[in-house]
Structure 1
Amino acid sequence: MPDYLFDFLDELKFLRNGRKTAIITDIDGTISEIAPTPEEAVVDDEMRDVLRDLASRYRVLAFISGRPVREALRMVGVPGAVYVGNHGLEYIINGNYQRFSEVEEYIPLIKKCALELRDKIDEENVIFEDKGICYSIHYRQCTDPELSRKRILKNLQEIPESKGLKVDHGRMLVELKPPLHYNKGFIVRKILEDSDVSSAVYLGDDITDADAFREIRKLESERGMKNVPILVLSKEIPPEVKNSARFFVYGISEVLRFFRWLLK
């Protein structure tokens, strides 16, 4: 289990050097409350104001999400930041959109598999979200989420196309992805290696954030960086994700409190 962040702030004052520190954060469940549907989630004005202050003070401010990257940009709306979508498969840096070319061949296969699955799942509270590259199947609103998850996975196994895809899990969702090595850890490494920083913070709350937690810890030994992986705790997080972080906070209100501490 990681340590409670606010017990160690005296040891983390080096993070206040914005010229040498990168702030990288997930969105949903980290700077925005988890909502019943993806469309209902918002970054509130109080959080956005603090994020704008961070953008003006820190060399790097980046937002990494499972959402499509343009949706992440719309949702956060902080100018000058780096935005990463679909768990690292696409990104906007300096206003320029890019995505890894290898994803192209898998997009038709993912859509075909998702549409077949939709025909098999007769449950109105299961939400299918087409994210352009990936496809998420949300079961948060189902009466018995665990039973719905098992049904989704069972039906996926009956679709031949799913064998050629990566089937991932998140907070109350199953996700169809290209079977590529790109993930949040890969893109975090790219951002940090392209930046002149000596320390970094990564905040996240979900299974895919563990890749980023592990990668910034590797960068400590490889490049002598002082990095701080912070988990936003919830009852939905499995033990392996908890063990990949160094510190934790209780919810989004404490993320906001930490950001304000950075700005003091």
Structure 2
Amino acid sequence: MPDVRTESGRAGLEAMVNDPGGAVIGLDFDGTLSPIVTDPSAAWIHPAAPSALIRLAEVVRRIAVVTGRPPGTALALGDTPEGPDLVEVPGLVILGQYGIERWEGGEITSPPPPAGLTKIRAELPALLSGLEGVTIEDKGRALAVHTRSCPDPDAALEALRAPLVELAAVNGLVVEPGRKVLELRGPGVDKGKALKELLAAERARSVMFVGDDLGDLAAFEAVASVDIPGVRVCSGSAEVTALAEQADVVVDGPDGVVAFLEDLLKSIASREQ
């Protein structure tokens, strides 16, 4: 197992190993289960991740993917050329669009999209015109503006921040920053709230959340605030350091996440023998 930096993280990991049947494991998708790539539609899941999650799902209480992606997109990107796919994880729950959409057992439930989204969808192209490399990802109930393909992604992100915040506010939405992306979405929803609701529904006795981006900070805060042992795992990157500063464990990207899950499985199996 990688180094666990905090006492609370060690207690959380020990609780999961000793009582896996009470554990809920939540994971982000992009940058955690899949690599960060220039084209978001090509962010395929790590080929070994579904297999590890399938085996974990057989011993823990629940596996949940908590993502800004729509559930259907996460499932589509969860296909692997060889071996099992994400959809095959037993009892999997996908809390998409920061928790506003829920996929379980082949069915998606969600409220209607935010009212202001239609107006923003019409106005956004004109606001972005002339900015080389900026792309819009339409998530159905949110719009993500990506600058990763720009000549200077960070400068483009900063130039767009204020006008996008203003556009979102006028239309009753908020802006969620991420790795070379600003997402316009409805207020009042975040990964922390989604994770807390899941933990309560599952009556979890321990929790782990694995993430890589600013949107995962709320989930880390949820792990720290609930009254059960927990461990926060950061899929590390040079682009986002705020998450690593709060993490109990830092691993090296999706490869490190899969290796960590495999180590967890080995520890559980060794304990049960």
Instruction: State the alpha-carbon separation in 1 of the partners of residues 162 and 226 from structure 2.
Output: 38
TM-score by length of 1: 0.86
Is the counterpart of residue 15 in structure 1 residue 22 in structure 2?
no
Q: Please point out which of 130, 150, 163 is paired with 2:158.
A: 150
Assess, with a 3 A threshold, how the Cα gap between structure 1 residues 155 and 207 changes in structure 2: closer, same or farther: same
Partner of 1:190: 197
Question: Counterparts of 1:158 and 1:89 in 2: how far apart (Å)?
Answer: 23
Shift of 1:154: 4.4
Corresponding letter in the other structure for 1:233: G
Q: Which residue of 2 aligns with 1:115?
A: 122
Letter of the 2:254 counterpart:
I
RMSD: 2.4
**CA shift in 2, pair 1:159/1:64, >3 Å:** closer
CA distance in 2, matches of 1:153, 1:13: 42
Secondary structure of residue in 1 paired with 2:16: helix
Q: In structure 2, what is the Cα distance between the partners aligned to 1:39 and 1:140? A: 13
Partner of 2:83: none
User: Are the equivalent residues in 2 in contact too, given 1:42–1:75 (CA < 8 A)?
Assistant: yes
Residue-by-residue CA offset, 1:28-55 (whole Å, 9 max, x unaligned):
1011111111111111322221121112
Distance in 2 (alpha carbons) for counterparts of 1:156 and 1:46: 37
**Superposition map of 1:116-135 within 5 A:** 116-121=123-128, 122-135=130-143
Change (3 A) 1:56 1:258: same
**What is the letter of the counterpart of residue 33 of structure 2?**
I
Does the residue aligned with 1:5 lie in a helix, a strand or coil?
Answer: coil
For structure 1, which segment, 135-144 or 36-45, has the greater mean C-alpha deviation from structure 2 after superposition? Answer: 36-45
Give the C-alpha shift of residue 87 in structure 1.
1.2
Percent identical residues: 29
After superposing the two structures, state which structure 1 stretch, 229-238 or 35-44, moved more. 229-238
Provide the rounded CA distance (Å) in 1 between the counterparts of 2:54 and 2:34: 15
Aligned to 1:72: 74
2:117 and 2:171 in contact (8 A); partners too = no
* Equivalent residue in structure 1 for 2:226, among 215, 219, 237: 219
Contact 1:113 1:161 in 2 (8 A): no
- Out of 38, 45, 53, the residue aligned to residue 51 of structure 1 is 53
Q: Is the 8 A contact 1:51 1:78 kept in 2?
A: no
Which residue is equivalent to 1:249? Answer: 251
What is the DSSP-based 3-state SS (H/G/I as helix, E as strand, rest coil) of the residue aligned with 2:73? helix
Query: Which of 152, 174, 178 is equivalent to 2:186?
Result: 178
* TM-score (normalizing by structure 2): 0.84
1:39-78 Cα shifts (integer Å, max 9, x gaps): 1111132222112111222210000111111111222323
Q: Which runs of 5+ in 2 are unaligned?
A: 79-85, 267-273
Query: What is the identity, as a one-letter code, of the residue corresponding to 2:236?
Result: L
Post-superposition CA distance 1:119-144 (Å, at most 9, x none): 13223411101101111000011111
* CA–CA distance in structure 1, aligned partners of residues 163 and 194 of structure 2: 32
Q: Distance in 2 between matches of 1:176 and 1:158?
A: 11
Which letter maps to 1:170?
Answer: G
User: What is the Cα deviation at residue 238 of structure 1?
Assistant: 4.4
- Alignment of 1:232 with 2:235, yes or no, is yes
Q: Which runs of 5+ in 1 are unaligned?
A: none
Partner-residue secondary structure (3-state), 2:34: coil
Residue aligning to 1:84: 95
Query: What CA distance in whole angstroms lies between the structure 2 residues aligned with 1:10 and 1:26?
Result: 21
1:258 aligned counterpart, secondary structure: helix
- Would you say the 8 A contact 2:134–2:147 is kept in 1? yes
The structure-2 alpha-carbon separation of the partners of 1:238 and 1:194, relative to structure 1 and needing over 3 Å to count, comes to same
